[in-house]
Amino acid sequence: MGKVALITGVTGQDGAYLSEYLLKLGYVVHGVKRRSSLFNTERIDHLYEDPHVENRNFILHYGDMTDSLNLTRIIQEVQPDEIYNLAAMSHVKVSFDTPEYAANADGLGTLRILEAVRLLGLTEKSRIYQASTSELYGWVREVPQTERTPFYPRSPYAVAKLYGYWIVVNYREAYGMHASNGILFNHESPLRGETFVTRKITRSVSKIVLGQEECLYLGNLSAQRDWGHARDYVRAMHAMLQQERPDDYVIATGVSASVRDFVRMAFSEVGITLCFEGNGTDEKALLQAVDESLFAERVGAEYLSVVRDRVGDVVVAVDPRYFRPTEVDALVGDARKAREVLGWKPEYDLPALVREMVASDVKLMKRDAFLQAGGYKTLKYFE
């Protein structure tokens, strides 16, 4: 019999990669999905199994991190060997608009899982992974950040996650639970939510080169992040729960780059060189040159006229509406402990991540344009 895993946040970026990974390892995977007025399962539709199929390996349950009774019932029904608590209101900027909800879902939600496991007498059986975050370091006290670096959260999201982090440590110490925090630095992929900065950039680059958008508006171009690939990071989540003893681990690449660097890299993936001018809110990037053979290979010769016409135009500008009331300026992690104890190291580097995201979005935006033009009958061409 394979092990049974329960994933909260199964419809999110990490939930999708982790589900795929665990299913390949022979797990039966249960996921908690919120009720929504529209389908919100796009990332996991390829894993979906009809409820009428016997011996399903992938089973979804309606639930919400703010509903203790619901979470307790699901855990009782599923009797999981491993719980991956990935569900969260995960957008830092949005948490300034919905601070109480972030505290409830991200902070108290973690407590609800731990307490349900304890009350159901599953302390010995169910191991728990908590999706902690490099946002805990906030106004960083040390560079690079390790498991011993003090925390200084800078948003309602990070403060809620701080509660989640410490309640996991407390339940581990108080009740001997196998509960671990993964302090994951930013990780991205073609499945990343569209309003996080990397995906916002790769989508806009794709739309600009296809003539669907004029300009990409961003906030703080100087913020630095340690960006890895979600596919690599879900392996680390699983590895933590296979250890004899629970513990907390930093998961990071050790390489930091600015938002401006990411923009440059994304445009250069399609053969475009930018020229940045100005400072602060007046900073802009102009389309300086096009490597036409690279552009033709990565985007298509039929779109060359679009970018030829844009040489000298502003294609990136700053819009202060994307600034945060308090910012996390620079993050870079030291994942030595994960390497030594878990044997974990990332396979993707930043250029490979950017390449995959841009290629995926160029394909997606072309497909969307094709569908809008009524080309649905030959959709297979894009699959």
Nearest residue relative to ligand NAP (C-beta): 12
- Residue 104, both tokens: 């409830």
Nearest residue relative to ligand G4F (C-beta): 223
Has 135 been annotated as catalytic?
Answer: yes
Run of H or E including 156: helix 156-175
Q: Binds 365, which of ligand G4F, ligand NAP, none (CB < 5 to 8 A, cut-off by type)?
A: none
Q: Are 112 and 68 in contact (CB under 8 A)?
A: yes
Please, what is the minimum distance in Å from the beta carbon of residue 345 to ligand G4F?
19
Has 157 been annotated as catalytic?
Answer: yes
Closest CA to 186 of 12, 344, 338, 331: 331
Q: Are 95 and 89 in contact (CB under 8 A)?
A: yes
Please classify residue 354 by burial: count the beta carbons closer than 10 Å to its beta carbon, then call 0-12 exposed, 13-18 middle and 19+ buried: buried
What is the Cα 361 distance to its own chain's centre? Answer: 16
Rounded Cα–Cα distance for residues 223 and 219 (Å): 9
Rounded Cα–Cα distance for residues 185 and 221 (Å): 18
Closest CB to ligand G4F among residues 128, 183? 183
What is the Cα 215 distance to its own chain's centre? Answer: 24
x/- map, 277-316, ligand G4F, by CB under 6 A? ----------------------------------------
In the set 67, 147, 247, 327, which binds ligand G4F (CB under 6 A)? 327
Has 98 been annotated as catalytic?
Answer: no
Task: Output b/e per residue, 144-180; b: 16+ Cβ within 10 A.
Answer: bbebebebebbbbbbbbbbbbbbbbbebbeeeebbbb
* Side-by-side strand order, sheet with 82-85: 58-62, 28-33, 4-8, 82-85, 127-133, 179-184, 248-251
Stretch that binds ligand G4F, among 64-72, 118-126, 214-222, 338-346 (CB under 6 A): 214-222
Among residue numbers 17 through 56, which ones bind ligand NAP (CB under 6 A)? Answer: 32, 34, 36, 40
Which one from 17, 27, 84, 157 is the annotated catalytic residue?
Answer: 157
Rounded Cα–Cα distance for residues 97 and 141 (Å): 27
DSSP 214: S
Residue 218 is a binding residue for ligand G4F (CB under 6 A): yes
In the set 61, 125, 324, 336, which binds ligand G4F (CB under 6 A)? 324
Q: Binds 89, which of ligand NAP, ligand G4F, none (CB < 5 to 8 A, cut-off by type)?
A: ligand NAP
Q: Binds 344, which of ligand NAP, ligand G4F, none (CB < 5 to 8 A, cut-off by type)?
A: none
Residue 187 is a binding residue for ligand NAP (CB under 6 A): yes
Please classify residue 291 by burial: count the beta carbons closer than 10 Å to its beta carbon, then call 0-12 exposed, 13-18 middle and 19+ buried: middle
In the set 4, 6, 44, 89, which binds ligand NAP (CB under 6 A)? 89
Closest CB to ligand G4F among residues 201, 209? 201
Please, what is the minimum distance in Å from the beta carbon of residue 297 to ligand G4F?
29
**Residues with active-site annotation:** 133, 135, 157
Instruction: Give the residues lining the site for ligand NAP (CB under 6 A).
Output: 8-9, 11-15, 32, 34, 36, 40, 64-66, 86-90, 105, 131, 133, 184, 186-187, 193
Instruction: Give the residues lining the site for ligand G4F (CB under 6 A).
Output: 90, 92-93, 133-135, 185-186, 195-197, 200, 218-220, 223, 225, 259, 322, 324, 327-328
